[in-house]
Amino acid sequence: MISLFSIGFLDIEWLDIIDILLVTVLLYQLYKLLTGSVALKIFLGLLSVYLLYLVVKAAGMELLTIILGQFMGVGVLAAIIVFQPEIRRFLLMIGKTTAFNNERLFKGFPWRRTVTEDRLSITPFIEAAKSLAGKNTGALIVFARSSELRYFAESGDAIDAIVSKRLLISIFNKNSPLHDGAVIIHGNRIKAARCILPVTESNDVPASMGLRHRAAIGLSEVTDSVVLVVSEETGQIALVRNGEVYRNLSAADLRSKLNHFLFDIEPKVVEKVAAA
């Protein structure tokens, strides 16, 4: 390989630059994953022990080197056990962003055409959200995209019913045994209700957001799902995608964003015509 430039006795090549950039991106994503959680402090503790091991080994302290060496010998196994939730979240994040998980990749194939033709109607969700918001009734609706979210659906009660405004309102009625949890929508059907979602561990969530919002953020962080939230305290309607919350949406805003997030339909820009 042709050398790009030299720093002292080091010859820098293009492959080295790419290697450094990839490691930088990996470390940045790891930092984002760990920041704001207890796992970051554990990681810094393990890093400190490893640096101490290098120092005592270089200084020739045999006793400490043996003790810390035994600890570092099981360090990888211990890290897998300690960071099991973070490793799972990291792998889910990688799987969410991979090209093979993107619906656009296979949209042109014949077996995908039936899916796009039989598109989900978002009108029942908008009408149900308006009705629930008017009565300050909380709701949590998950729109599954590339994944069926089978793991989360199995945590609740299977329904497999056609989507309708009345059914959604009845599920989230405060006297309903199914109201406490999330409804998962896959295809054109209500797949399950009373589902348990993972709660985000981020400390950046405002205190005004309750458990429903935190659960919606947590799921959107590890999947490509879009989550509709109706606040029981304020009656506000919100959408959550990729960890970002769009709050206090009107019915028109909700329709526009659902079309954009679910079907890649860009919002229409209304042009103002000056009076002649």
List, in order of start, the domains of the chain with CATH numbers: 3-95 (no CATH), 122-263 (3.40.1700.10)
pLDDT value for 116: 42
Distance in angstroms (rounded) separating the CA atoms of residues 213 and 69 = 45
Distance from chain centroid for Cα 270: 32
- Average pLDDT of adjacent 10-residue blocks, the chain of 276 residues: 61 79 82 65 78 87 84 72 69 60 51 53 95 94 88 91 94 92 92 92 82 92 91 94 92 93 74 38
pLDDT value for 95: 66
pLDDT value for 85: 66
Widest distance between CA atoms in the chain: 90
pLDDT value for 260: 92
- Helix 14-34 and helix 38-59, axial crossing angle in degrees, nearest 10: 130
pLDDT value for 130: 95
Which token pair is 19? 């290697």
Distance in angstroms (rounded) separating the CA atoms of residues 235 and 241 = 20
Q: CA gyration radius for the chain?
A: 25
Distance in angstroms (rounded) separating the CA atoms of residues 183 and 138 = 12
pTM of model > 0.85: no
Distance in angstroms (rounded) separating the CA atoms of residues 65 and 212 = 50
